Structure 1
Amino acid sequence: MSIPSTRPLRVVVVEDQPLFRSMLERTFAGTPGMQVVAALGTSTEALRMVRPGFADVAVLDIDLPDGNGIALGVSLRRRQPTLGILLLSAHDAMALLLDLPSDVAAGWGYLSKTSSTSEAVLIGAVRAAAVGETVLDPALLARMTPRAGSDVARLTDRQYEVLRLLAAGLSNAGIGEKLGITEKSVQNHVNAMYATLGIDADPQRNPRVSATLRLLEETGPAH
């Protein structure tokens, strides 16, 4: 999935709280290379307005007054398979990504409204959604621990750290910078982590998305 570099990334916002909606609108409109094509308050409005080709990414609140953002995202994605989806919620609903229908499951991001998500994380998650990647909320990921007996639990501490940063949307270079190691070392850790999780280089599936969903599937909140 790629956006022509000659035009801005077109974002539609669907959020029923006017204050939060206008904050999102201002953030995206003020970001170079981004354009807000619509800021809406209901699922009904979105289904009426967001036709194929109208937007590149839809930023959807999960809790809408006339439905939920996940069902809306599924409908929009089935109309436009290349549409990126970023879900927002006031409560931790990250695990709902595991229940998405398989035909639309790739490339959904999730951020919590109540975690300390920065503007940079929000913008990064929108850009990731535009190219079919999955980004999860870094603050929520920090509170997760691997389930006993899972493949994720077999990762070394460093491999798990790399997986968590990868799931938060960091590139190999960004992970290396965060951990103070070389990009080559990060790639070695990523390759070893893929091997442990049994993720192959199937060109039909983005391995980073597969690894992110495995992390979500095989971890739970720390007690």
Structure 2
Amino acid sequence: MTATEGAPIRVGIVEDQPLFRSMLEVTLGTVPGLEVVAAVATVAQARRAFPPGAVDVAVLDIDLPDGNGIALGVTLRRGQPGLGILLLSAHDAMDLLLDLPPDVKHGWSYLSKTSSTSSDALVAAIRSTAEGRTTLDPALLERMEPRAGSSVAGLTDRQYEVLRVLAQGLSNAGIGEALGITEKSVQNHINAIYAGLGIDADPSRNPRVTAALRLLEETGPVA
């Protein structure tokens, strides 16, 4: 977890639309356990406002007037490797996560402004991202299906269901609650998913993040 245990999660916001930026700042500023450090409009302002160690999670709009949130996120992450990045976009650009440089590829999340803008979804994504997990937009995941011949296509229906909920950043307890199964069953399914996708126990990689990215890589829009 990037935040100190017991301390509030420090959030930085980069959003060029004044009204949406203000809404994010006000909404997140009232959530127990979160602290909005700064809310700015541009890449240049973010680089000044978020020196390494200033925030635990950066919430970044992808389209900014003097650059883009992805390039900014890469720069911020290289200065602070443990930083969580949550991208927001008005467009369906979730697959951009697959094009990230290998040294910063893990620990990013994505929500669509148009499909998952509820405060609950946003707060859950921030908390998950702060803990090093990846959260993918649940509404966009609903529109995806496994590509024929992929490893994900080889999973059972239940394993695929568990993987899709896992990719929303939920813990084992959260997955169990969402699907009405026990935590032990969830862990058994996750172990089978890792085996089916060939995900090993590399200590330098979070297997949950790797699984979420594989889901994104091996699925496409429902025809």
> What TM-score do the two structures reach when normalised by structure 2?
0.97
Matches within 5 A, 1:28-67: 28-67=28-67
Alignment of 1:1-12 (within 5 A): 1-12=1-12
Q: Separation in 2 of the partners of 1:142 and 1:20?
A: 25
Identity %: 73
Counterpart-to-counterpart distance in 1, 2:66 and 2:197? 39
3-state SS of 2:88 partner: strand
Displacement over 6 Å in runs of 4+: none
In the TM superposition, residue 5 of structure 1 has moved relative to its aligned partner by 2.8
1:135-146 alignment, distance < 5 Å: 135-146=135-146
Mean Cα deviation higher: 157-166 or 43-52: 43-52
Cα shift at 1:48: 2.0
The Cα of 1:121 is off from its aligned counterpart by: 1.5
Gaps of 5+ in 2: none
1:60-209 alignment to 2 at 5 Å? 60-209=60-209
After alignment, is 5-14 or 38-47 more displaced? Answer: 5-14
| Contact 2:116–2:122, Cα closer than 8 Å, also in 1 | no
CA distance in structure 2 between the partners assigned to 1:2 and 1:72 by the alignment: 19
* Equivalent-residue separation in structure 1 for 2:23 and 2:161 (angstroms): 32
Structure 1 residues 26-65: Cα deviation after superposition (integer angstroms, max 9, x where no partner): 1111010111110000111111221111111100000101
Residue 60 of structure 1 aligns to a residue whose secondary structure is: strand
Tell me if the contact between 1:159 and 1:190 (Cα under 8 Å) persists in the aligned partners: yes
- Give the whole-Å Cα distance in 1 for the aligned partners of 2:62 and 2:181: 37
| Counterpart Cα distance in 1 of 2:115 and 2:67 | 24
3-state SS in 1 of match to 2:12: strand
State the distance in 1 between where 2:171 and 2:9 align: 20
Shift of 1:118: 2.4
The separation in 2 between residues aligned to 1:30 and 1:146, in whole angstroms, is 39
Q: Distance in 2 between matches of 1:175 and 1:159?
A: 12
SS across alignment from 2:163:
helix
For residues 14 and 122 of structure 2, the distance between their equivalents in structure 1, rounded to whole angstroms, comes to 15
**Quick one: which amino acid aligns to residue 43 of structure 1?**
V
Are 1:13 and 1:39, in contact at CA under 8 Å, matched by a contact in 2? yes
Contact 1:14–1:46 at 8 Å: present in 2 too? yes
SS of equivalent to 1:23:
helix
Q: How does 1:206-221 map to 2 (within 5 A)?
A: 206-221=206-221
CA contact (8 A) 1:60 1:85 kept: yes
Question: 2:222 is matched by which residue type in structure 1?
Answer: A
AA paired with 2:5? Answer: S
SS of 1:110 mapped into structure 2: strand
Deviation per CA, 1:100-120, whole angstroms, max 9, x where unpaired? 001111100000000044212
Indicate if the aligned counterparts of 2:59 and 2:86 stay in contact, CA closer than 8 A: yes
Paired residue type of 2:172: N
Superposition deviation, residue 6 in structure 1:
4.1
Question: Structure 1 residues 2, 42: closer, same or farther in 2, change over 3 A?
Answer: closer
Give the gaps of 5 or more residues in structure 1.
Answer: none
SS of aligned partner of 2:37? strand
